[in-house]
Structure 1
């Protein structure tokens, strides 16, 4: 659980995003304000098409075209150039998507090891960290298996391990169990929460599942471009 006295991991102020479609302006985000503190896991609830993914893309510094201010680890990300934003994203953020997006030609441990090498860790350190995370997720016997040799739930566990590999302050998860059956989704999501809490990371988890949302520390709802 979060510490109310700690500085926010992320602070979003008046975040807006509009798209032009057929000559019509569609306002997807209409002035979002949100703070998430260390260790806090926040459910972002809303139906499909409500703008949850757009909001996570903004927080994750994955695309431009937004208005407002995004501060990550105390740094005003909106004032940075592209290279600095990439470094901030690499050092402070982890991502879990609805589809695992694992590299098909690499096994489980290599998929978790690679982002650590990019961040400058040694091969030995990265391998130890990848092994630690995968074992914690129940994949100790599947380390040398490629994605095609893993079940859907196992693939998503590898994606969770990859997201946490560089010990991010904030994990952004977009419908992380949306492609799994209910029983598998419950297991994977429970493991995700346990691991994120054990690592001390904060998380924003976009979902339309009310039941999963209630397992998190706080629920915010995206409705007509605003948070409720």
Structure 2
């Protein structure tokens, strides 16, 4: 694999609970290539979210090595980790976490302004993404005025606003009904592929995982490749 966007090398994570040590990750290894969309399968509690938090550099306490876009993130300080997240990673969660007092377009513009983009360019980018997701008629609506599927599509646009090399999605359609989930996932995959980003999508839904380029399963704290039938 040429110049992978993500490399995990013997990633470990343990917690203490009631005086008992719980090993959530036991030496997970993974490489994701440019433009590759990988499904991360596993039941609730298997460590999917913990792994995404590690790759997203959202918390410490992990052993092993994490490389993002050629940067060894394992040894970075807090500010350096924040810069890698800002410059290279987009996030989508099961719940959209949109800012309730801002419109759809403002929710997509704001992360670009934080990254230093001029307002006019940020607004043009937001309109481009929201239009691609079929929300051109909902630009000025606040989250409370949008359906669940529309809210999640705004979250997709926000995650892609700064053209990240990597998108991390944690059960991105888990809060939607099956029909809406299929539609949102299809639009997400089409847009990510069109942008040329890589993605790691955590899900427990094997049917949705089958729509992606490759599937890995987390089992007993390690990753297993699932080969096509």
Decide: shared fold, TM above 0.5: yes
Q: How does 1:28-177 map to 2 (within 5 A)?
A: 28-177=24-173
| 1:200 alignment partner in structure 2 | 196
Cα RMSD between the aligned structures? 0.5
Distance in 1 (alpha carbons) for counterparts of 2:123 and 2:223 = 40
Which piece of structure 1 moves more, 152-161 or 70-79?
70-79
Question: How much has 1:15 moved relative to structure 2?
Answer: 0.4
Question: How much has 1:79 moved relative to structure 2?
Answer: 1.2
Q: Which consecutive unaligned segments of at least 5 residues does structure 2 have?
A: 225-229
| 2:9 alignment partner in structure 1 | 13
Distance in 1 (alpha carbons) for counterparts of 2:60 and 2:80 = 14
| 1:218 alignment partner in structure 2 | 214
Please state whether the residue corresponding to 2:84 is helix, strand or coil: helix
Question: How much has 1:78 moved relative to structure 2?
Answer: 1.0
Residues paired across the two proteins, number: 224
Q: Which consecutive unaligned segments of at least 5 residues does structure 1 have?
A: none
Deviations 1:101-154 (A, max 9, x none): 000000000000000000000000000000000000000000000000000000
Deviations 1:29-72 (A, max 9, x none): 00011000110000000001000000000000000111011010
Q: TM-score, normalised by structure 1?
A: 0.98
Distance in 2 (alpha carbons) for counterparts of 1:160 and 1:17 = 28
